[in-house]
Amino acid sequence: MSVTREAVRFVRGDIEYAAWYHPGTSGACVIMAGGLGVPKGPGTDLFAPRFQEAGLGVLAFDYRNFGESGGRWRQVARVADQLADWHAAIAYARSLPGIDPDRIALWAFSASGGHVLRVAAADPRVAAVIAQTPNVDGPTVSRHAARYQRPGAMLRLVGHALADTVGGLLGRPPRTVPLAGPPGTVALVSTPDSQVGPRALRAGEYPEWRQEIAARVVFGQSLYRPGRVISRVRCPLLVLVCDDDRTALAEPAARAVRRAPRGELVRMPGGHYEPFLDGHERALEAELSFLRRHVLSVDATAAAG
């Protein structure tokens, strides 16, 4: 597949962000980011070129502290910071030549799939949102994930998280843990479908990807409930869930989308990373259909205006 993109950088406050811009032909743009701890390469490369082929511009960016973006403490993910990163990316995309600032769509998965709900709820100019296998209810997801971890390993993870939180307050470098690992090892998640993450996201093609995260994220993610704002997302919203998802869970997201004024639900079999695996074409077609109707279509754009 031929990919035409350029490396771009933009600045907001004291953070310099790294992104890839795939120029489109329609004036519409999809802003994309990877899941928790996943940079733009493994997180967006399977989808971005196909969106571009359909005529969409694509801006795929790295959160601060991850990938090629700036930030003092690497691998530290704070919800408030990452929401601000989305707003910075939106502002930059709206400034790009040839981009209609009112035809900006957001795409994200997993924890980031929860972020885009909050971002769209706060920015009524966002034209459409795709939340793929999103984590919309941290407490429910955390309780479920604990079933797949051994008590000793869970206690060690909490100990790492406490130590990292205190260290952060004292200005010390972060204490990291793997994003995923088998039960009995200290890792952020040990669910069955999390184990295929490196294969699904083709980690071997991205040797620079650090598959670890600051342990303090345990507390922030376990309390995070972005699904609560879904009724304030006024633009068209597509939520794609996988019925066997043990990492983000399908049912909390399926229930939440019913509260969205313009919500659409797509269900497919498979685990958390199925849209990157055998279900990729099915997920891609559902998402392209949604974007054609709500962002690419002249009629849809006129109706939204």
Kindly report, residue by residue over 11-31, the tens digit of the pLDDT: 999 999 999 999 999 999 999
Per the prediction, the chain carries an average pLDDT of 95
What is the pLDDT averaged over residues 98-103? 97
3-state secondary structure (DSSP) of residue 95: helix
**Whether residue 221 has pLDDT greater than 80:** yes
Among 230, 220, 222, 31, CA closest to 117: 230
The residues that bridge with 214 in the sheet, in sequence order, are 176
pLDDT of the residue at 297: 79
Share of the chain above pLDDT 70, in %: 96
Distance CA 47, CA 255 (A): 26
DSSP state of 180: B
Q: Please give the residue that has the higher pLDDT: either 305 or 54.
A: 54
Among 188, 168, 7, CA closest to 72: 168
Task: List Cβ neighbours of 273 (8 Å cut-off, separation of 6 or more).
Answer: 133, 193, 196, 197, 200, 201
pLDDT of the residue at 3: 63
What is the pLDDT averaged over residues 245-271? 98
pLDDT of the residue at 180: 97
E strands, 190-249, are 212-214, 237-242
The residues that bridge with 22 in the sheet, in sequence order, are 58
Domains and their CATH numbers in the chain: 6-137+225-304 (3.40.50.1820)
Sign of CA dihedral 47, 49, 50, 51: positive
At residue 216 the predicted structure's pLDDT band, cuts being 50, 70 and 90, is very high
**Whether residue 302 has pLDDT greater than 70:** no
Distance CA 223, CA 219 (A): 6
pLDDT of the residue at 300: 46
User: What pTM value is reported for the model?
Assistant: 0.95
What is the pLDDT averaged over residues 147-166? 96
**Whether residue 1 has pLDDT greater than 90:** no
Distance CA 247, CA 274 (A): 12
pLDDT of the residue at 298: 58
Distance CA 249, CA 143 (A): 11
8: alpha, beta or left? (left if phi > 0; alpha if psi -120 to 50): beta
Task: List Cβ neighbours of 163 (8 Å cut-off, separation of 6 or more).
Answer: 175, 215
**Whether residue 303 has pLDDT greater than 60:** no
- 280-284, 291-295, 297-301, range with the lowest pLDDT: 297-301
